[in-house]
Structure 1
Amino acid sequence: MNPDTFHKGRGAQQNPDNKFLEHRYETRDDFLEYMQAEGEDLGPGKTQYLPIFPKTIVNKVTSPDVGMNWSLNPYQGCEHGCIYCYARNSHEYWGYSAGLDFETRILVKENAPKLLEEKLRSKNWKAETIVLSGNTDCYQPAEEKFRLTRACLEIFLKYRHPVGIITKNSRILQDLDLLKELAAHNLVGVNISVTSLSEKTRRILEPRTATIARRLQAIQELSANNIPVNAMLAPIIPGINSHEVLPMAKAVADHGARSFSFTVVRLNGAIGQIFSEWIRKAMPDRADKVLHQIAECHGGSLNDSRFGIRNKGDGILATQIHDMVKLAKRQYFRDRVFPPLDNSLHQQYKKGQLSLF
């Protein structure tokens, strides 16, 4: 495998060392030469789905600036391969790399629906929105095979419990029947990620995601069925999509989104190394400029851990992005409201049906 080879269809171009593991893996030059002589490739290979059976499935979110208190992730790792994804770092906790492993070793929580039902039936649980998914996309390609997200939505509907959804995949429309029923009780809100209006940019940033046209179509179809949609224009990456804030906001508004949110990219943990190598291969002509501008938004570093600032950035470039966001909200979202979900119904359905007593 030539180190300069660009792995098409994948985001990360390497497997950086896992900081939690004692041993490090090194690919020696003599081994690479042997592989080349034998006509074999040491590329990323096919995606593997690995079943796991956790003891709990609903996670408390303690970070004060992510906009949710509870999350549920049916899958760990994500085949979408978004190069900037903050969730990459979590794959290290499972003994894998945040790089190619994150995209090719997908952990499947096959008992997720059962664990969710147990949680919602618990006497100590009080209804509060649970978000699918706060970490990895619940409608990534694995959902086509395992249907865990659909099974969880059926549980939320059965127990009349509010659920939020974050995705960048139009596969969500396959569950339109359940989403319409949940929306009829004001129990669901959907967040669709739109990172660019350029297919060229989308393909290299997010290689295995739905096209932009299909995402906008999903926003339109969900909205037409009275399912509230918030568009996530995230992350905004200086020098790559920062010039698209206004056009993206107009596009999602034209397709029916009730609101939009944004973040400024930050490259925490292993993502700094992964992103830096990727951009030097994918966009060599502007790599240094983009990396310097990202650092400008975070006090000179690619990462920023300060709550309340880390996702929005500061400095001149970040201020310009904020100003464009304010203008977009005034122009395209002046009278639009994303409704709060209903927490009051669940208590009557603790046993899976309406209680009469």
Structure 2
Amino acid sequence: MEIDDSQEKVPGSVDEKATQKALPNVTPDVAALKETTTNAIEENSTINEGATRAETTTPASSLTTSRSAVPSTLSSVGPTTASLKEKFSAQKIPLQTDFANLIDVADCERKAVGLSPAQPGGAGAGLLLDAEERLAVLPGNGISVGASVGVMVEANKGLIVGANGVAVQAGNGISVGASVGVTANAGRAIIVDSGGVGINYGSTLQVTNQQLGVSDNFLQRKTISSTIPSLVSATCFKIMSIPSGMKNAYAQVYITSSLTGQKFVFTICCDGGVSASGGTYSMSISNFYRPSAGYAVTVLYLYRESNNDMSVCIFINDASPTTVSMNYSPCDIQGFTLYPFIQVSVGGPPPETVNSINSNSNNSVQGA
């Protein structure tokens, strides 16, 4: 380096004329590069205007890379760009620490793309260097890279990608509005409320230990009772019926009267619309018990109503008040609807009577 003595010298400055040396086309380790640079720096500076020449030396042991002091949380590396440029500006003599800072800053670039010797794994997760050694997004796992980076979704899995981003696809019970929800088909016994999706079940079912099962009360026998007041004359009371289109309906009930202690089992098998549509029926009384004092229920009638529903009524022939009851198991009622002794006629059987069975003995009738 040539120094022009005719010009005034500023401490720490050099002439702008400097020989540029081409850098080798390699990227050595940062520590090795710093050591080489340190040995190549002349650490003496010229003191201006006749001052004594002072020799300034920075021990190599005091130089540390910014990376060596980086804590677990990231911090800045080196001085500001403006400060670093000023150190290497015209008529300045950069010090060893300035070269170290410059190397640290440059090293950040190759570390960012995964080209440091200490990074055998290459670029970070989800990134790669393309054919032109540009940092790019790694395609795959739902990420597509073309003219732009996008998201791919598997078809028919409930997601769609539109101009506004990824969204849930509505349909098949999924509704999308202000929020995503589930649409339940009320006719399929499914309900949706603030607690989530559930099953709409009746009294015959129950949930125990997070499992749906038959209610404990389902198989228990049930009783329908009614107190009949004093009657002026014999009266018919409807106890069960089936719709006209029903086939192979079945019922078995245990009928009792509190006044006389009468007891018997009534069983019926019947089609809806008997006589009008050619259906069949059979009725029977069993386990009959009649005390010597008499009995309240004398006859049971099978009759057709105006809408072709088939119904059964009991004929009570007792002037004193009595409580009549039907005791049954839910498993013994198929197709029939039971009623709490509804009055239908007075003084005789109802119109459109198909057949009757006496309740004073074990017997049966059948017909079509």
Bigger Cα Rg: 2
For Structure 1 versus Structure 2, the TM-score category normalised by the shorter chain is under 0.3
User: Relative to total residues, which structure has the larger helix share, 1 or 2?
Assistant: 1
TM-score, length-scaled by structure 2: 0.18
